Structure 1
Amino acid sequence: MTIETSDVRAASSLLAGRVRRTPVMRADENLWFKLEQVQHAGSFKTRGMFNQILAAPSLPEAGIVAASGGNAGLAAAYAARELGVPAEVFVPETAPAVKVAKLGKLGARVVQVGNEYAEAYAAALVAAQSSGALFCHAYDDPFMVAGNGTLGLELLDQLPSGFDTVLVAVGGGGLIAGVIAALPGVRVVAVEPINASALHSALAAGQPVDVPVSGVAADSLGARRVGRIAYDMAVAFQTPSVLVEDQAIVDARRHLWDDYRLAVEHGTAAAYAALTSGAYVPAPGERVVVLLCGANTNPADLA
């Protein structure tokens, strides 16, 4: 299944007034950061979650149910609060305390199940079937993907002189699929932790496959299997994928704070780690955008 640019444009119209138009920061002569970490609820997923909910034919009295490593749940809780419907969010027991606490502040009922996203996802499906609530997928839903892609349309407006490449951190793939759809004429590069390489492994295997998940970015990039939409989009557009080590992610996160005073979560820093570690080396004059997609982190270790 693939998503068209027209789907992203439709999502942009539906989301008008619901999400922030996040800024772009020039970091170097040919390097920009898209600051999506300042989006409502702290990540890009607010775009997709709003679009997924608003596109539903109707909302049941039971509200919505979502499963998440943290960010999709926060987006679901925020969107539900803004729309005045109940939200139940299933997260792993390993979800960062900062994300769990924020879910409660946004008014969601939080259920912690298992050690990985996959276990929380299975429990959320059962709960939605039982209550009749709308199940909102964290990444593998066409409306989620199209909503996420709206940040790509913003980039076209914000950098009218053009850009060649966008580096995107990948977990389940809902973000990169949307960016590919929004920017069909731009090179989009997938960046994944070596210990959570769902898309990279799927491309090597010729189909989505289960992978082991661990490491510093597992709370946000910890999908055991990449979404079918992201896989199909990556194949259709011959999307390259690079891997980065955990230490490179930690170092990149520190660099973003030390050099630019940007506080992001480890999963977000993975995209920048592709540059700082040399996993992705731009050609001379190549204009690169690093997508900084989330900031739901405890900044205490950056002080």
Structure 2
Amino acid sequence: MAGRVRPVVVAPGGDGLWFALEFLQHTGTFKARGALNFTAARLESGVMPPAGIAIASGGNAGLACAWAAGREGIRATVFVPETAPAVKVARLRELGADVRQVGREYADAARACAVFVAESGALASHAYDHPLIAAGAGTLLEEIVAARPTVSTVVVAVGGGGLFAGVAAAAARRGVRVVGVEPENCRTLHAALAAGEPVDVPVDSVAADSLGARRASADALYWAAQPHARSVLVPDKAIVAARRELWRTHRLAVEHSAATALAALRTGAWTPAPGEETCVVLCGANTDPSDLGF
């Protein structure tokens, strides 16, 4: 599977910091990894109905699904909130997806997608809560370690937890620490850890278009409770500042979700030990860069 996605690019960020440039991936985010793994596995098992694949998404998972399905000539129906960024909706249509905008949040789109699947017989995919999706995302960790064997901590943004779960599962075998970072007001994983089970949370963040899931996956909760994993929170103000820093310092125009991971280091929510090598995953760049302060 990994040979059909673009290999990770690991670039220096200064002072023991490295960036995994996953926004260079197909469709602009790490989501291509999970979508391709899901689609390939279902085709190999002979499970692909005439109605194709349906998915609910804030935008990025839908883009990856449409891309992976399109490679195989499979129909993709993508449900997104009415608040989804126009740049993502336009790209979905360019990829040939049947785009349906429903409600104000990911949860609204997910409910509409479930109804469509029941009525059409389409194969239901998921933005994050599926073993094949998480496993595909986990290939990123293996590539980071191959590129930088001395990296000891990988920092990722968390929405529903697919990237976190996949990376944390792979990291456990490699002796690598994983830090999951969430906006203060989109804290699915943090709330799940506190409750001891996945629970619904309010969604209110500048990064909600990518990290706006209401509930973390059970797999993400399992891995977050392991000794090599950490869960931290950052405020929206720090996310905005980190995104602008990435542009001004490195000329990297990324989504707020990608900046969320870096914000953990800039706020001190996560502080690497002296001499430690840390890799921050810049997970996506499907964004309008007009507010970066050119």
**Residue 239 (structure 1) shift:** 2.0
Q: Which of 173, 177, 186 is the equivalent residue of 2:165? A: 177
The equivalent of 1:168 in structure 2 is 156
The equivalent of 2:54 in structure 1 is 65
The equivalent of 2:73 in structure 1 is 84
SS at 2:178 equivalent: strand
Structure 2 distance, partners of 1:55, 1:137, is 14
**Residue 60 (structure 1) shift:** 1.2
**Residue 163 (structure 1) shift:** 1.2
The equivalent of 2:25 in structure 1 is 39
The equivalent of 1:10 in structure 2 is none
**Alignment TM-score, normalising by the size of structure 2:** 0.96
Q: Which of 189, 214, 218 is the equivalent residue of 1:224? A: 214
The equivalent of 1:190 in structure 2 is 180
**Alignment TM-score, normalising by the size of structure 1:** 0.93
Structure 2 distance, partners of 1:163, 1:179, is 14
Does residue 249 of structure 1 match 2:239? yes
Structure 1 distance, partners of 2:199, 2:81, is 21
The equivalent of 1:206 in structure 2 is 196
**1:105-144: per-residue Cα shift (whole Å, max 9, x none)?**
1110100111111110111111112111111111010000
**Residue 247 (structure 1) shift:** 0.6
SS at 1:138 equivalent: coil
Matches within 5 A, 1:100-111: 100-111=89-100
Structure 2 distance, partners of 1:93, 1:179, is 30
**1:66-89: per-residue Cα shift (whole Å, max 9, x none)?**
100010000011111111111000
The equivalent of 2:35 in structure 1 is 49
The equivalent of 2:63 in structure 1 is 74
Paired positions, count: 288
Aligned-residue RMSD, C-alpha: 1.0
Q: Which of 1, 4, 7 is the equivalent residue of 1:21? A: 7
The equivalent of 1:272 in structure 2 is 262
Q: Which amino acid aligns with 2:247?
A: W
**Residue 282 (structure 1) shift:** 1.4
SS at 2:229 equivalent: coil
**Residue 237 (structure 1) shift:** 4.2
SS at 2:48 equivalent: coil
Structure 1 distance, partners of 2:107, 2:243, is 26
Return 5+ residue gaps in structure 1 as ranges. 1-13
